[in-house]
């Protein structure tokens, strides 16, 4: 049975690779979303038991710079297929930044206007990138975070259904299905079916939900660990403290075998370590994921292959003071 599952995953990966080779000259952006490398972490894991390995999916290598490219592309294609997204409509959604950048990039490539609601305290770098792609920005109350941005976007969509295509990333099934169809088979293939633990943060929850569902189909014994900030007010951009936030409709609380909370400071320290010890310039949510993966790894004495996600690159976080700390 294991061999059959492996062959299925390999076949899916090969089909996607063939598609990319055929389509890359037609539409570069869509063809280069996904199929990201899986990197073994060696320096930050040097103190672990010899047979415990940690790998990180390099999602910052997507064309828009983050894991959100997968979901944004899937939601746009689903909208087109359903006839809900036409050239007469503007793509509208709430975002903390990365999905918005993916919408703006893909919208520019496919000829759509894009309007995004995001908290006013979102970084200047994010806003600049969005504007460079031609997106319109609606700044919302920073104290309400992305929950407030969701409410603004939803109300606009309700008032002007003829004007907007509202994917609603927090409640769109295409979000998690993108990872079910692509991220999970890639990980399974890249680890030769040896993955034992999957660790990922919760934001829209699409990455965790979709990847976990598929990996558990491949191996029901796989352990899935979700990660979220330890406090409602935190510095982990893109992650949600679900106990005090609007819980995404696509979230399935039954999927996680374990939930870990991460302090902002611990994630920041790990983010610096990844840059200085692994040569990986990534964002703070990636630092949170790796920190959580290390916590799991330190408890294990038997053989294990742990996979986590490097959600985005570090360039959008250069304004943060934590880079300069000792």
pLDDT tens for the 326 residues of the chain, in order: 455 655 655 555 554 554 444 554 456 777 899 999 999 999 999 988 779 999 999 999 999 999 999 999 999 999 999 999 999 999 999 998 899 999 999 999 999 999 999 999 888 888 999 999 999 999 999 888 888 999 999 999 999 999 999 999 999 999 999 999 999 999 999 999 999 999 999 999 999 999 999 999 999 999 999 999 999 888 888 888 999 998 999 999 999 999 999 999 999 999 999 999 999 999 999 999 999 999 999 999 889 999 999 999 999 888 888 888 76
Q: Is 285 a catalytic residue?
A: yes
Q: Is 216 a catalytic residue?
A: no
C-beta separation of 106 from 85 below 8 A: no
**Catalytic residue (one of 57, 66, 68, 226):** 68
Q: Which long-range contacts (CB under 8 A, 24 or more apart) does 217-221 make?
A: 218/5, 218/9, 218/184, 218/188, 218/193, 219/5, 219/193, 219/195
Structural domains of the chain sorted by starting position, each given as residue range(s) with its CATH number in brackets: 2-66+173-324 (3.40.50.1100), 68-165 (3.40.50.1100)
Calpha distance 161→149 (Å, rounded): 18
For residue 73, which of 38, 39, 104 has the smallest C-alpha distance? 104
Phi, psi angle pair for 160, to nearest 5°: -130, 65
The radius of gyration of the chain from alpha carbons, rounded to an integer in Å, stands at 19
Name the region of 205 (left: φ>0; alpha: ψ -120 to 50; beta: rest). left
Biggest CA–CA distance in the chain, Å, is 59
**Catalytic residue (one of 66, 96, 226, 285):** 285
Starting from the edge strand earliest in sequence, which strands make up the sheet with 258-262, in order?
Answer: 38-41, 52-58, 304-310, 197-201, 223-229, 258-262
């Amino acid at each position: 049975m294991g061999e059959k599952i492996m062959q299925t995953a390999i076949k899916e990966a090969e089909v996607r690779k063939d598609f990319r080779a055929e389509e890359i000259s037609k539409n570069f952006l869509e063809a280069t979303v996904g199929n990201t490398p899986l990197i073994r972490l060696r320096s930050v894991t040097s103190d672990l038991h010899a047979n415990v390995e940690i790998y990180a999916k390099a999602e910052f290598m997507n064309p828009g710079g983050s894991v959100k490219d997968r979901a944004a592309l899937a939601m746009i294609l689903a909208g087109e297929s359903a006839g809900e997204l036409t050239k007469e409509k503007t793509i509208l959604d709430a975002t903390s930044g990365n999905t918005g950048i993916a919408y703006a990039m893909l919208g520019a490539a496919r000829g759509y206007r894009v309007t995004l609601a995001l908290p006013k305290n979102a970084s200047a770098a994010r806003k600049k990138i969005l504007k460079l792609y031609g997106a319109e920005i609606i700044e919302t109350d920073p104290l309400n975070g992305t929950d407030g941005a969701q409410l603004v976007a939803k109300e606009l969509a309700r008032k002007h259904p003829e004007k907007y295509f509202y994917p609603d990333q927090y409640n769109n099934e295409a979000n998690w299905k993108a990872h079910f169809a692509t991220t999970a088979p890639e990980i399974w293939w890249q680890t030769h079916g040896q993955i034992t633990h999957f660790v990922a943060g919760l934001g829209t929850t699409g990455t965790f939900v979709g990847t976990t569902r598929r990996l558990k189909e491949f191996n029901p014994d796989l352990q899935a660990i979700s990660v979220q900030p330890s406090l409602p007010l935190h510095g982990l951009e893109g992650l949600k403290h679900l106990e005090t936030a609007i819980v995404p409709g696509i979230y399935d609380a039954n999927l996680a075998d374990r939930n870990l909370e991460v302090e902002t400071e611990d994630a920041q320290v790990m983010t610096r370590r990844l840059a200085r010890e692994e040569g990986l310039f990534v964002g703070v949510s990636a630092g949170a994921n790796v920190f959580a993966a290390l916590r799991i790894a330190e408890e294990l004495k038997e053989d294990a292959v742990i996979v986590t996600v490097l959600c985005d690159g570090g360039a959008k976080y250069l304004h943060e003071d934590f880079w300069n700390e000792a």
